[in-house]
Amino acid sequence: MTHNAVEVRGLRKRYGEVTAVDGLDLTIRRGEVFGLLGPNGAGKSTTVEILQGHRARDGGEVSVLGADPATAGRAWRSRVGIVWQDESAPAELTVRETVAHFARYYPAPRDPEAVISLVGLEAKRDQRVKALSGGQRRRLDVALGVIGGPELLLLDEPTTGFDPAARRQFWELIRLLAAEGTTIVLTTHYLEEAEALADRLAVIKRGRVVAEGEPGELRARFGTGATVEWTGPDGAPRRVRTATPTRTVTELAARTGGEVPGLRVTRPTLEDVYLRLTGQVTDADDGGGDDGGGAGGAPRTEESR
């Protein structure tokens, strides 16, 4: 058995004249939480649909749990769960009836009552689906995604529309599933969510992977140094981006004779890196470079010479 849950090489998909996926490569290990990031139209949802066998591809090689989704049979499909962006539960049934009904689709389902407890809907088990809140409905969608006991769970924008409290509650559910050994593939627009949940990430732009790695690794590889901010002698704010922030602060301290007024040092966030990788912001857009030179008192670092 391969240690990879998903292996994709040269994946391609077109819709008429539009290329949705353009030679995409992915490797997802068993048991990890893997995040797919990218702007709208980057090809994330199409990729997830191909991994699940819901959509045919135009080219490339795809292996999911050791099989090609395009030709895999019913037994393979029972090993893959998916939570779509759209709700799938019938509105008139209760939570208990819905989960029990979907359990009948699988050869060896998990216990419906245990799954209801797993997703935190014990108190709502006899409530009709139409009476649930948005967050509770998404929990039910996850219950339907895991009722078959999948080895791989695909989550397509699972927390869209959640308030912050509901989103964090949902994160705990995903962590619990991951702790059970489920491989999880997550597409999301929320960078905080990706960083909180994913072991590794792939950033997709125009149907191609432009960067892949652990969140911290991506920040280190694609960040542009630290930003040092302080208050100049005239009371105006100063800022400089530098690869050597400790040296910059030391030089500032020497100039001011000790404490540096208004000192603040920040490093690139995952969001900063993502926006640069997807071309949605440039160094000029986010204020890169020396913004406090001249008489204002900026240190003469290598970056400002």
Question: Tokens 């490339």 appear where?
Answer: 60
- Give the model's pLDDT for residue 87: 65
- Give the model's pLDDT for residue 269: 82
Contacts (Cβ under 8 Å, ≥6 apart) of 146: 81, 110, 115, 118, 119, 153, 177, 182
Contact 208, 9 (CB under 8 A): no
Question: Tokens 């969510």 appear where?
Answer: 193
Q: Which residues pair with 156 in a beta bridge?
A: 187
Contacts (Cβ under 8 Å, ≥6 apart) of 6: 26, 27, 28, 34, 51, 62, 63, 64, 152, 183, 185
Contacts (Cβ under 8 Å, ≥6 apart) of 22: 12, 43, 206, 207, 208
Residues of the chain with pLDDT under 70: 1-2, 87-88, 281-305
- Give the model's pLDDT for residue 296: 39
- Give the model's pLDDT for residue 110: 92
Helices 215-222, 270-277: inter-axial angle, 10-degree rounding: 60
Neighbours of 257 (CB within 10 A): 7
DSSP labels for 107-121? SSPPPHHHHHHHTT-
User: What is the C-alpha to C-alpha distance for residues 299 and 277, in angstroms, rounded to an integer?
Assistant: 30
Question: Tokens 């910059």 appear where?
Answer: 248
- What are the pLDDT digits (tens) for 255-284? 888 899 999 988 888 888 888 888 776 554
Domains and CATH numbers, the chain: 30-45+72-206+213-219 (3.40.50.300), 223-304 (no CATH)
